[in-house]
Structure 1
Amino acid sequence: MDAQDKLNRQYENKSIYTAGFYADPDNNLANRKKLFDTLKSLVMNQDASTPFSLQIMMTNSEINIMPLGLLDLNELKEYEKKQREIHGLDWHSDEIPLIIQYSPHTEDGKVVKKTVCSTQKLFADFNTQIENIWQTVKDFLNDNFAILSAIVKDLIADKNDVQKEYYTTFSKMSAAEREEKLGFTVDTAEVEQFSEYMANMHEVQAIVLSAGSFANHELLGKNSFSEMISDNVRRSTLFWVLDNTFYEIYYYFYNSNENSKLRKRLNHQRENLIVNMRNDAFHRAQELVEKQQKKVDFNEYFSDIFIPVAEQIVAEINKFKD
């Protein structure tokens, strides 16, 4: 039996069972529970012949857990070829390997695939195989967090340079000149703190505009907002971008401060911040649909959502320092 016959017999033209969730960059306990619950639901309600794909979205990557050959039949053919080279031409197995695919969304990122077990073993021995799957997923989550940390590190380095420029510029001005330039008073004693605030918001704006540009070009395009939001894939992608943007801003401030007590405070506030952000984004999307607004600029949409988030984080940091 060749790979095509095997796949046809295995799947019997069934529809693909799909599920997905967003992985918190720094909460493996919650991530493992989501993974466990999703795959447990699969084995309790389906059978080993069910074609399925579990997608785990992250800030700069995604993970797919699925049977080999689901997306590319040639992969299954190549697998069978290699097995015959190893075990001989008489090798035969009805098992479909289960793979975990890691896809970093970076310029030089390479897709990595690992075989962990088979779909039959997952259904027959769930408790053992879920742990094998989790260990591989956890490694990929760590790889993703390293990407996020590298991005944040670059933002912090740029912020330090920008802050120096602001401080030099504002320090050379008199209080009257600063008021004329800015429209409000900044005393000499406040120049350093104000320069830091301006530099922070410069980096936040860079994050926001990057996300807005992606949404404008890749999601909205020439469509109306209502058309875009009615498409399941693009709507899901929009809320994935929103979460990505939140975490880049959050970890930018979190990694900018090494005080463990301050980090603990920010970590305590994180869940409320992201829930409020998601609610705000959802309500703004609803308003745009109800108004049937023809022209929507995601740069403005993202700025209206995330500038207040950043200012709230800054307020938490200043409150702690005071």
Structure 2
Amino acid sequence: MDIQEKLNAKYDNIAIYTSGFYADPEDELGTRSKLSETLKSFTMNQHADTPFSLQIMTTNGEINVMPLGLLSLDELKAYETKRREQAGLTTDDDAIPLVVQFAPHTEKGQIQKQIVGTTQNLFDNFNTHFAAIWTVVKADLQANQTLLVGIERDLISDSADIQREYQDNFKLMDAPTRKAKLGFDLKDTDLTHFSTFMADMHEIQAIVLSSAAFVKNELLGDDLFAQVMNDKVSRNTLFWVLDNTFYETLYYFIEKYRDIANGKKLTRHLHHQKKLLIINMRNDAYQRAQAAVEDATTKLDMDKYFSDIFVPIAEQLAREVDQFQN
């Protein structure tokens, strides 16, 4: 029986051991520790031939550590064919290759895979093999961070055009018209600052509505919000989306204003503010979710849910930027 037949036999009607966690883009040490603890626990409680998938959710994708062939036995067949071509037909090695896969959640993102030894290597020499796994995972995390920064820079580029549109429109208005539309006096000297703020909020709203659309299309569908919250996978996915939205909002301001005067101090300050902001965001999101669950007959407006949570956060971050600019 070759390796493909063995996996076919093992994966047929057998539960796959799964585990996962979210990778904070600002806590590489924490991610490494979680991955080590998860894999170590696996090796202590399972066998080397146990089918498993350990998932790391990131802001713009996911990383999986798993046996090659778990998702597609055709991959394992191709690997086995190539291995026999190189090593000869008489080779007799039934060790299962271990693969680290990074799947970007972007329109043109390409899945990246790298084989890192075998599952038996992980069981036989955990520390050495974990170091090899972490090297690949760390590179994938950096690739994910590059995606995040790229997305932010696209938004920032768009904000420049939006800012000019706002400023040009405000310039065409006289003072009474501005006050009638805005509800307050807007001086000519404040046009640039206010139109920049409006452009930033426009981009944040794009982030927020994109997240809300994902939840509506991929999680809610025709279901009520209470049904989503009662399903563990859907609930975890919702809070993963919330964390993603938070980081996309935070990094928008970090990337846009890192080069201003005192930009380095501002960046450090925003990183520091993040610790409290994300805790408050999660608490706010959870409380709003619980309130929605209590009314099991009403469909939750996800656009409003996400906007109510993240627009105040964006406004606070904008105030923090103002303090450093002034």
**TM-score normalised to structure 2 length:** 0.94
Aligned residue number for residue 180 of structure 2: 180
The answer to whether the aligner puts 1:122 opposite 2:126 as a matched pair is no
Please show how residues 74-89 of structure 1 align to structure 2 within 5 Å: 74-89=74-89
Q: C-alpha distance in 1, partners of 2:287/2:297?
A: 14
Unaligned runs of 5+ in 1: none
Aligned residue number for residue 196 of structure 2: 196
Letter in 2 for 1:157: S
The answer to whether the aligner puts 1:311 opposite 2:315 as a matched pair is yes
Aligned residue number for residue 98 of structure 2: 98
What SS does the corresponding residue of 2:185 show, helix, strand or coil? coil
206-215 vs 14-23, greater mean Cα deviation = 14-23
CA deviation map 1:84-107 (0-9, x unaligned): 111111111121110011111111
Give the aligned CA root-mean-square deviation in angstroms: 1.6
Q: C-alpha distance in 2, partners of 1:293/1:9?
A: 46
The answer to whether the aligner puts 1:44 opposite 2:44 as a matched pair is yes
Count of paired positions: 322
Aligned residue number for residue 255 of structure 2: 255
The answer to whether the aligner puts 1:217 opposite 2:221 as a matched pair is no
233-242 vs 258-267, greater mean Cα deviation = 233-242
Q: C-alpha distance in 1, partners of 2:3/2:56?
A: 27
The answer to whether the aligner puts 1:70 opposite 2:66 as a matched pair is no
Q: Does structure 2 conserve the Cα–Cα contact (< 8 Å) formed by 1:225 and 1:293?
A: no
Deviation at 1:42, TM superposition (A): 1.2
Deviation at 1:9, TM superposition (A): 6.4
What SS does the corresponding residue of 1:110 show, helix, strand or coil? coil
Percent of aligned pairs with the same amino acid: 53
Q: C-alpha distance in 2, partners of 1:278/1:295?
A: 21
Unaligned runs of 5+ in 2: none
Aligned residue number for residue 274 of structure 1: 278
Deviation at 1:46, TM superposition (A): 2.0
Query: Following TM superposition, where does structure 1 have runs of at least 4 consecutive aligned residues deviating by more than 3 angstroms?
Result: 8-14
The answer to whether the aligner puts 1:160 opposite 2:160 as a matched pair is yes
Q: Does structure 2 conserve the Cα–Cα contact (< 8 Å) formed by 1:96 and 1:120?
A: yes
CA deviation map 1:231-290 (0-9, x unaligned): 222222211211111111111000011210110100111121112111111111111001
Q: Does structure 2 conserve the Cα–Cα contact (< 8 Å) formed by 1:21 and 1:57?
A: yes
What SS does the corresponding residue of 1:229 show, helix, strand or coil? helix
CA deviation map 1:205-245 (0-9, x unaligned): 11111111121122111111111222222222211211111
Aligned residue number for residue 55 of structure 1: 55
